[in-house]
Amino acid sequence: NLISEQNVTVTMDLQPVLQLSMQGSETVSFVFSQISEYIGGLTQYGAVDLSVSSTVDWCLYAAAFSSDAADAELNWTNMVTFGDSNPNSITNLPITVLQLFQSKPNPDTNSTADSPSFATAFDTGRAALGENNVYASRDPFDRPSADARYIAGGNAGAAEVAGGSYLVDDGGASGQNEFYFTISFRVVPALPGTYPRATSEDQGNTDETDDLVVRGDGRYAYPGVYTLNVKFVMVEC
């Protein structure tokens, strides 16, 4: 029998895809102009929405940094000061003054029990410090340690989230989409501006210390404008 044939070589190139999208304002402002705002703090609810799509296992964290943090202490950058100088007023405000809240728990059940996520409700008291404080970093691309909070996944063994997308995840029986997070921000200055919710400046989210300054020494935050950046980073795990 006569046979005539042609061949085609088919190549499939599966590129790894990590895609993080953010909806919301790129600037979040806290303006404290009332005594009640100093005492009770201000919260920006639903400030940003994060959407994830990935073909590989992934982790997601938030790291706060500033120009001051890169050079010395893990502090906010002071842009402007108001009023007369006072020996008791200081401008070195810890980055961990900022608190985060995520709309749903860390989808990875293997994340560390000590610090699974930022899903704990905001607390106005002094108890349970470190539950929501942002991860302070000199380099936002330096991945947080295993005991630091992650929005999703972690830095311990098997602490990752399987690939998928917010476009197709229906949340299963829980009704919780594991690839979509709403993030809220909170700052509580207190009076006279000692920031009782701030934790230690050790690049982590531990509860080793609490106040902005040593309690009882009379110092407080200098009135002015302060700024920092929060970077949401998605990495392959």
Residues 89-146: tens digit of each pLDDT: 888 888 888 999 999 888 886 655 444 688 888 876 554 566 788 988 888 898 888 7
Angstrom distance (rounded) from CA 75 to CA 73: 5
Q: What pLDDT score was predicted for residue 111?
A: 53
pLDDT given for residue 209 in this prediction: 42
For residue 236, the tally of other CB atoms under 10 A from its CB is 13
Mean pLDDT of 8-19: 95
Lowest mean pLDDT among 49-53, 151-155, 214-218: 214-218
* Predicted TM-score (pTM) of this structure: 0.86
Helices assigned H by DSSP within the chain: 35-40, 67-71
CA distances from 85 to 30, 82, 92, 184, 207 (A): 23, 8, 14, 33, 31
The confidence score (pLDDT) of residue 34 equals: 96
**CB-CB contact of 63 with 137 (8 Å):** yes
* pLDDT for res 210: 44
How much is the pLDDT for 197? 78
CA 111 to the chain's CA centroid: 16
Distance (Å, whole) CA 158 – CA 194: 39
- What is the model's pLDDT at position 30? 97
CA distance 127 to 30: 24
For the chain, give the mean pLDDT: 83
What is the per-residue pLDDT across 32-91, written as a single tens digit (0 to 9) for each?
999 999 999 999 999 999 999 999 999 999 999 988 755 557 888 999 999 877 778 888
